[in-house]
């Protein structure tokens, strides 16, 4: 690894793709970055440093008055592509970084996965890398879809659910969503699947994203992902023509449709599956005021995972296209959920948490 001293002494024979200007050469993980040169902003040589022609510079420094002055003085020799690590919650820090010519902002302290992704995006992801990402997304969707297929087939044929395989697929989804972004995953689902499949995959990804943004433990996120994937499995026994019926349903038809949580949970109860997943599958249509089905549970009888799944299920149903309705934009879907919360059907705090998860993601990826 080259340090500023080596560079200043002209010891560099290879131009690095990225220059990192840091103020914590001891503990910052940024010093593990591949294909990069490093310079300490406190080093007096920094001001004389010939930056050569790297493709991007990363500033991993506190934006103190002194550091801002140094960065301003370096301005003429800096590459145009500049990543600043700042406290993204601080409006002031974001403004300061932007005024110093930031082309990308990432959170400080830096997480390497985020930095690597940001740099790849900034200095031009090669087609090969793009292809690899597409393969990974396809793989996670294929895994989820095939787990879903075997579950849907299983309930019709009486075959046992492959819990291990389903958990593996859920773990893959949990890894794919933060890596590629939920939007990218959803775009791909829309291309690949239709009707109930699409709905289950949509609920799965909304639940995964929401669980991660709530800071749930990984095992709980996987369980929530699994609950999302399985929640409507009972619909596999309902004729598609009935599920897609555009007009008003008769009482008898409604009764059949409303049987799906019980049918699904009965099928799953013969497998080794976490009780909270089973509960969420059976009770995802319950309401906090006791007006839901199948058991009319209310308030504290409905645990967190079930409440979270219910909110994700409603949100997903609102933003997706069905044979009988157009999709709602995310903001309008959140408004509908807020109305349901005011009416005592779902938990208001969860709706607000989902709103910030949805809108943070949208802003962050904009």
Q: What's the min distance (Å) between Cβ of 18 and Fe ion? A: 45
How far apart CA 279 and CA 154 sit, in angstroms, is 20
195: left (phi over 0), alpha (psi -120 to 50) or beta: left
Site string for Fe ion, 197-226 (x = CB under 5 A): ------------------------------
Site string for Fe ion, 60-99 (x = CB under 5 A): ----------------------------------------
The reply to whether 286 sits near Fe ion by the rule CB under 5 A is no
Q: What's the min distance (Å) between Cβ of 203 and Fe ion? A: 6
Q: What's the min distance (Å) between Cβ of 200 and Fe ion? A: 7
Nearer to Fe ion, 229 or 341 (CB): 229
Quick one: DSSP state of residue 61? S
Q: What's the min distance (Å) between Cβ of 109 and Fe ion? A: 39
Nearer to Fe ion, 81 or 235 (CB): 235
Nearer to Fe ion, 84 or 315 (CB): 315
Nearer to Fe ion, 29 or 239 (CB): 239
- First and final CA of the chain: distance in angstroms? 34
- A 10 A CB-CB count for 32 gives 11
Count of residues in contact with Fe ion, rule CB under 5 A: 2
Quick one: DSSP state of residue 347? -
The reply to whether 320 sits near Fe ion by the rule CB under 5 A is no
The reply to whether 37 sits near Fe ion by the rule CB under 5 A is no
Going along 8-123, which residue ranges are E strands? 18-22, 36-40, 56-60, 82-86, 104-107
Bridge partner list, 106: 85
Element (H, E) at 152: helix 127-157
The reply to whether 313 sits near Fe ion by the rule CB under 5 A is yes
Determine the longest span between alpha carbons in the chain, in angstroms: 84
Nearer to Fe ion, 172 or 232 (CB): 232
How far apart CA 188 and CA 163 sit, in angstroms, is 25
The reply to whether 232 sits near Fe ion by the rule CB under 5 A is yes
Going along the chain, which residue ranges are E strands? 18-22, 36-40, 56-60, 82-86, 104-107
Q: Which residues bind Fe ion (CB under 5 A)?
A: 232, 313
């Amino acid at each position: 690894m080259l340090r500023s001293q080596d560079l200043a002494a002209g010891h560099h024979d290879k131009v690095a793709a990225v220059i990192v200007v840091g103020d914590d050469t001891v503990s910052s993980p940024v010093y593990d970055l591949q294909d990069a040169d490093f310079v300490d902003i406190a080093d007096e040589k920094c001001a004389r440093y010939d930056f050569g022609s790297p493709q991007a510079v990363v500033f991993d420094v506190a934006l103190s008055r002194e550091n801002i002055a140094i960065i301003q003085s370096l301005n003429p020799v800096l590459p145009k592509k500049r990543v600043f690590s700042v406290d993204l919650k601080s409006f002031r820090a974001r403004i300061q970084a932007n005024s110093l010519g930031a082309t990308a902002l990432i959170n400080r302290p830096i997480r390497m996965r985020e930095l690597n992704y940001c740099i790849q995006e900034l200095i031009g992801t090669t087609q090969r890398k793009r292809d690899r990402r597409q393969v990974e997304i396809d793989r996670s969707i294929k895994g989820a879809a095939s787990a879903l297929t075997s579950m849907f087939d299983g309930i019709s044929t009486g075959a046992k659910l492959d819990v291990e395989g389903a958990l593996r697929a859920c773990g893959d989804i949990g890894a794919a969503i933060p890596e590629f972004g939920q939007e990218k995953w959803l775009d791909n689902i829309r291309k690949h699947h239709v009707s109930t499949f699409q709905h289950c995959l949509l609920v799965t990804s909304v639940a995964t994203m929401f669980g991660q943004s709530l800071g749930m433990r990984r095992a709980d996120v996987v369980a929530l992902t699994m609950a999302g994937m399985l929640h409507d499995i009972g619909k596999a026994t309902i004729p598609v023509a009935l599920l897609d019926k555009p007009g008003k349903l008769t009482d008898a038809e409604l009764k059949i449709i409303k049987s799906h949580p019980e049918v699904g949970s009965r099928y799953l109860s013969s497998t080794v599956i976490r009780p909270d997943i089973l509960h969420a599958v059976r009770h995802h249509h319950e309401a906090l005021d006791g007006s839901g089905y199948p058991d009319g549970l209310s308030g504290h009888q409905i645990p967190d995972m079930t409440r979270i799944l219910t909110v994700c299920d409603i949100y997903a149903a609102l933003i997706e296209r069905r044979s009988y309705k157009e999709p709602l934009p995310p903001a309008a879907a959140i408004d509908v959920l807020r109305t349901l919360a005011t009416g005592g059907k779902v938990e208001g705090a969860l709706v607000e948490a989902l709103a910030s998860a949805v809108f943070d993601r949208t802003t962050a990826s904009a």
